[in-house]
């Protein structure tokens, strides 16, 4: 029986997928897997029993990824599971940035006691006039699961879409609308687009990528939408652009002390994935990925180890999962050690990711545990699992 601990409330649509070989537990020390949403884990000490952490969502800044990698704990996330929820909020926010809907709502509330509010509204409404998005140019920075959906929806709404993504994956490129204009110069997005939306992870190359140069180049009267991470935008530079009128609206899903004092800003309380459907989808994806790893050793959508899948464990084999440093001659040493145990290697696959790597090996069932123990003694090996 494998124990799973939930650090946050996880949708039952996910936990109900756990098979009879799994049990939910309140004892985190006995858990082989942890399901989490937003709970902070950086100060936690992890039990030797813990094999995997699955984040029911995309962002993983609440999890110590490097430390988990060194302890042989695979961390999963669920990219794309909440993409539709974020896409819909981006579209709604683009309209909020185009039409002064918020200002109009506030005016109505402020004048709620006026018995002639209907007539007064007819006179007041001109101050809340906006513009239509049809025919306007939308720049999409990051064309992954969310950015791709935003691009397709914008085309359907009659917008001209310009896309930028230096790390564009083939599978994402194939799903983009043919009407999209792809550019390789980020500054071109700033110069020509009426609206700009960003959908990239917050990693060293992207943090602060919307800098002073970008803000100064933005088309006058444009709207910038940030539903990814607050750290992607240099807020001081954005403040200047808003004060000078180059940017008409900054719409963000991240409330910070800085954004709350910036003019012409619409701030939402991180609502991007806050739908029942998104929470259900993320929970189901997280549980399925965790079970596939615990049951078969397969890794899909890990954020600290490479993807590697060999399907179900063959009935006549024992499967060894080796989490190790990405160093020369490691595969040779793994193979030699297994051969030294008198075992035949049926299948061996290896993938690396930066400084870490993962190797799956199918061997004869008899003697597989002894081989696992021998592999664990190799320098540079973090953890060895006999998957069963």
CB contact set of 46 (below 8 Å; sequence gap of 6+): 68, 71, 73
| 381 Rama class: left (phi>0) / alpha (psi -120 to 50) / beta | beta
- 258 part of the active site: yes
Instruction: Please tell me the distance from the alpha carbon of residue 11 to that of residue 34, in angstroms, as a whole number.
Output: 14
- 99 part of the active site: no
- 270 part of the active site: yes
Find residue 363's DSSP bridge partners: 318, 345
DSSP conformation letters of 143-198: -SHHHHHHHHHHHHTT-EEEEE-TT--HHHHHTS-TTPEE-S-HHHHHHH-SEEEE
| CA angle in degrees (0–180, nearest 5) for 350-351-354 | 140
Find residue 181's DSSP bridge partners: 162
Instruction: Choose, from 2, 229, 239, 385, the residue flagged as catalytic.
Output: 229
Report phi then psi at 113, rounded to 5: -90, 0
Is 67 in contact with 44 (CB distance < 8 Å)?
Answer: no
Find residue 345's DSSP bridge partners: 363
Instruction: Choose, from 67, 131, 270, 353, the residue flagged as catalytic.
Output: 270
Q: For the chain, give percent helix, strand, coil, nearest 5.
A: 35, 25, 40
Catalytic residues: 229, 258, 270
């Amino acid at each position: 029986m494998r124990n799973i601990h939930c650090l946050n409330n996880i949708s039952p649509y996910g936990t109900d997928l756990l098979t009879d070989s799994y049990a939910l537990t309140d004892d985190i020390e006995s858990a082989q897997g942890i399901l989490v949403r937003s709970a902070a884990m950086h100060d936690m000490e992890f039990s030797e029993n813990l094999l995997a952490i699955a984040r029911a969502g995309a962002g993983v800044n609440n999890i110590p990824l490097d430390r988990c990698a060194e302890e042989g704990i695979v961390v999963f996330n669920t990219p794309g599971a909440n993409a539709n929820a974020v896409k819909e909020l981006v579209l709604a926010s683009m309209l909020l940035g185009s039409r002064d809907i918020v200002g109009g709502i506030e005016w109505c509330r402020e004048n709620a006691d006026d018995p002639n509010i209907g007539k007064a509204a007819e006179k007041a409404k001109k101050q809340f006039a906006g513009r239509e998005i049809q025919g306007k140019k939308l720049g999409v920075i990051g064309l992954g699961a969310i950015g791709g959906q935003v691009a397709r929806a914008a085309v359907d709404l009659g917008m001209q879409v310009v896309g930028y993504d230096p790390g564009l994956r083939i599978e994402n490129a194939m799903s983009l609308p043919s009407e999209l204009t792809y550019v390789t110069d980020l500054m071109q997005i700033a110069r020509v687009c009426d609206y700009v939306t960003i959908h990239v992870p917050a990693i060293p190359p992207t943090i602060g990528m919307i800098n002073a140069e970008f803000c100064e180049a933005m088309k006058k009267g444009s709207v910038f939408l940030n539903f990814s991470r607050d750290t992607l935008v240099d807020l001081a530079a954005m403040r200047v652009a808003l004060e000078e009128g180059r940017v008409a609206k900054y719409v963000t899903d991240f409330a910070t002390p800085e954004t709350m004092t910036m003019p012409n800003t619409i701030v939402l309380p991180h609502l991007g994935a806050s739908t029942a459907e998104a929470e259900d989808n993320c929970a189901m994806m997280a549980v399925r990925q965790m079970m596939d790893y615990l049951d078969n050793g397969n890794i899909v959508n890990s954020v600290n180890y490479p993807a590697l899948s060999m399907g179900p464990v063959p009935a006549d084999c024992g499967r060894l999962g080796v989490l190790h440093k990405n160093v020369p001659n490691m595969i040779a040493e793994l193979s030699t050690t297994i051969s030294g145990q008198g075992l035949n290697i049926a299948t061996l696959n290896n993938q690396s990711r930066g400084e870490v790597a993962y190797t799956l090996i199918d061997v004869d069932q008899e003697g597989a545990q002894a081989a696992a123990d021998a592999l664990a003694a190799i320098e540079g090996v973090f953890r060895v699992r006999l998957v069963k």
